Amino acid sequence: MKNLVKALKRCAVAGAAALAVVSLQPVSNAQAAPAPVVGGTRAAQGEFPFMVRLSMGCGGSLLTQQIVLTAAHCVSGSGNNTSITATAGVVDLQNTSGRVQVRSTKVLQAPGYNGTGKDWALIKLASPITTQATLKIATTTQYNTGTFTVAGWGSASEGGAQQRYLLKATVPFVSDATCRSYSGYSGLVASEEICAGFTAGGVDTCQGDSGGPMFRRDAAGAWIQVGIVSWGIGCARPNAPGVYSEVSTFASAITAAAATL
């Protein structure tokens, strides 16, 4: 039951768009990620130009103009894959003005991914999205504390519908020790995952937000990605933070893998 709840927390349910505190992983996956915006507000057009919506019901970010970084649990494996459509350039998914949609050509799921940790994947697009900015990834733990921004089109409440508009929210860092002390979080892989959320709940990622970025400003004031929406217990519940893949841990592997696509 715990894994099922986690899966529902971050994965998208068909026909629903979640930005809440549940996992962003597909419901078929055993482990799910938190959706970014239960308790969130609508993002402005162009505010986060690196955000991508994926047709399987997950989020992602533009690592390069032709490669999307998302969660491993959002894809079924590695290899040629033309079944995924990436949507970028708009906060309103129904707005055709400025919207860019590109099909996938290849998918690379994190080597060794088995449902616990290593929750990252890359999707190569058929053509580059040249009109949108990319999001650099953290290569050290320097930015793995403080307050983070999350965003997505996932559920805005646990079990709710997926959203038409991109929502955003801010969540504070939660230490590994504190995160592990909560019910259902003893399996946290501290070396590969990072927690964020409020003790009282109310703000979180949710179903449909899986694979989306958790990011903050770096020393130069630029956005930098520190996490990937992975899983959580429900959405925005008290004492149940969102869990994100720790990007800095996998930065070298992600960069090397991207070079092979």
C-alpha distances out from residue 213 to 1, 58, 210, 238, Å: 27, 11, 9, 22
User: Residues 227, 195, 23, 29: what is their CA dihedral angle, to the nearest 10 degrees?
Assistant: 80
Please report whether residue 65 resides in a domain. Answer: no
Please report whether residue 171 resides in a domain. Answer: yes
Q: Please, which pLDDT band fits residue 23 given cuts at 50, 70 and 90?
A: very low
Please report whether residue 38 resides in a domain. Answer: no
pTM for the structure as a whole? 0.89
Residue 226 has pLDDT above 80, yes or no: yes
Catalytic residue among 23, 61, 104, 119: 119
Catalytic residue among 23, 61, 155, 210: 210
Active site residue 127: no
Please report whether residue 224 resides in a domain. Answer: yes
Judge contact between 213 and 185, C-beta under 8 A. Answer: no
Look up the domain containing 151 and give its range: 136-249
Please report whether residue 46 resides in a domain. Answer: no
Active site residue 210: yes
**Does residue 256 sit in helix, strand or coil?**
helix
CATH number of residue 243's parent domain:
2.40.10.10
Please report whether residue 43 resides in a domain. Answer: no
Instruction: Work out the burial of residue 257: count CB atoms within 10 Å of its CB; fewer than 13 is exposed, 13-18 middle, 19 or more buried.
Output: buried
Please report whether residue 19 resides in a domain. Answer: no
Catalytic residue among 73, 157, 245, 248: 73
pLDDT, one tens digit per residue, over 163-201 is 999 999 999 999 999 999 999 999 999 999 999 999 999
Per the structure, the count of domains in the chain is: 1
Q: Please, which pLDDT band fits residue 19 given cuts at 50, 70 and 90?
A: very low
Active site residue 204: no
pLDDT, one tens digit per residue, over 57-101 is 999 999 999 999 999 999 999 999 999 999 999 999 999 999 999
